[in-house]
Chain A
């Protein structure tokens, strides 16, 4: 087995595990964000739910 193939196997092994680790971390991140920043209905002064949208006005 040549050195290039050995290295390719090594990168493949570390790489696929690495992608899973990254995705598992992002999975946990989503769970954390969902827990700590849950959806809350925004309520206006009149008591109606509103969706706040702001337009950027200063563009060059």
Chain B
């Protein structure tokens, strides 16, 4: 009896499988040792190992005895949770339950940074088209710039399921790398004088917000978004539904369950299910490297869009009422990491400059902006493709 019969997995192992197992180990290392998005990168890393061992029963295999396909559990999860978009949309309910929109009510003009910092999505989409990707693939790659994992998964699973693995890995990896990506770009685009701008007069951060207004907001946003772009309703509606559960005041147990148990369980399933697309034959390709590079490009241009828009707004503002341009970079969806990074950058320049509150407002705007951008892409691409 040969090795092939005794240990078929070892006999059939290719160098590509070994590379994927190494990638899985690196993702697990980054999750545990560096604390980079551990809730997602750890299941994705483990899943990458799980699906790249030859004849793994975790994914669909052809039974050599019968010649029939035996469906693996990860493929079952994929068909049930990703193809149907159930997992990412449930994550949106959880995220909605975690978001407090009151910082936006205290300084609503910062909401506009949530639009400006989506610039990277569209720039990356154009760049991906220049590289030869079709419109649907280019849009799916561009959406990495939403800095919002579930939005990336919804768009990619609809338009380019073949690229879902690298897009998800890029989206979550770069979200974790915001503290490394954003500061050099911001320093390049701003002067020291601009970074020293204080925003103590911007917004009224002690202002109390009416409970009724906070309850009405998610309902009104859903209706407005639904009327303008019905295709965006799955994304925006589930996010706002989660927020309504939080704000209504009569479903506190459900709100806590959405923020904790639902978020944890679905994140776990989402991560390991995405890994089912990370088989060596689909992942070890030049495309993956290009997508990873384009993801970085998207995050850089998001930061660029936000900072430049802040500088543009300052052209119309009086001295003493200017916006610290670093705040513009918080318009991405990576919450609260981006706000924290900007606050720390501000404190490094001037230990008495407290940018946290305006940074949080812009960052909450980014959470809405990324979902809106995702909804707009879901609406426009089928119309024009």
Contacts and interface: CB of A to CB of B under 8 A. Distances in A.
- A and B together in one complex: yes
A20 B179 CA distance: 26
Contact of B369 (A19, A31, A52): A19
A45 interface: no
B372 interface: yes
A50 interface: no
Contact of A11 (B104, B122, B365): B122
Contact of B210 (A10, A11, A26, A40): A40
B249 A19 contact: no
B105 to A, nearest CB: 6
A37 B213 contact: yes
B213 A16 contact: no
Interface string B370-385: 0011001100110011
B249 A53 contact: yes
A37 B216 contact: yes
B373 A27 contact: no
Contacts of A55: 250, 252-253
A31 to B, nearest CB: 6
A12 B208 CA distance: 38
Given A4-B134, A19-B376, A12 B123 contact: yes
A11 B115 contact: no
Interface residues of A, number: 36
Interface string B191-219: 00000000000000001111011001100
Nearest to A36: B213
A54 B215 CA distance: 15
B373 A15 contact: yes
Given A12-B126, A39-B208, A26 B250 contact: no
A11 B133 CA distance: 15
A6 B252 CA distance: 49
22 contacts: A8-B125, A11-B135, A11-B139, A11-B377, A16-B115, A16-B122, A19-B369, A19-B372, A23-B112, A23-B114, A23-B368, A29-B221, A30-B104, A30-B108, A33-B105, A34-B108, A34-B209, A34-B213, A37-B210, A39-B209, A56-B254, A59-B254
Interface of B: 104-105, 108-109, 111-112, 114-116, 118-119, 121-123, 125-126, 128-130, 133-135, 138-139, 207-210, 212-213, 216-217, 220-221, 224-225, 228-229, 249-254, 365, 368-369, 372-373, 376-377, 380-381, 384-385
Q: Which 4 A-B pairs have the closest CB atoms?
A: A12-B122, A8-B129, A37-B213, A33-B213
Interface of A: 2, 4-5, 7-12, 14-16, 18-20, 22-27, 29-31, 33-34, 37-40, 52-56, 59
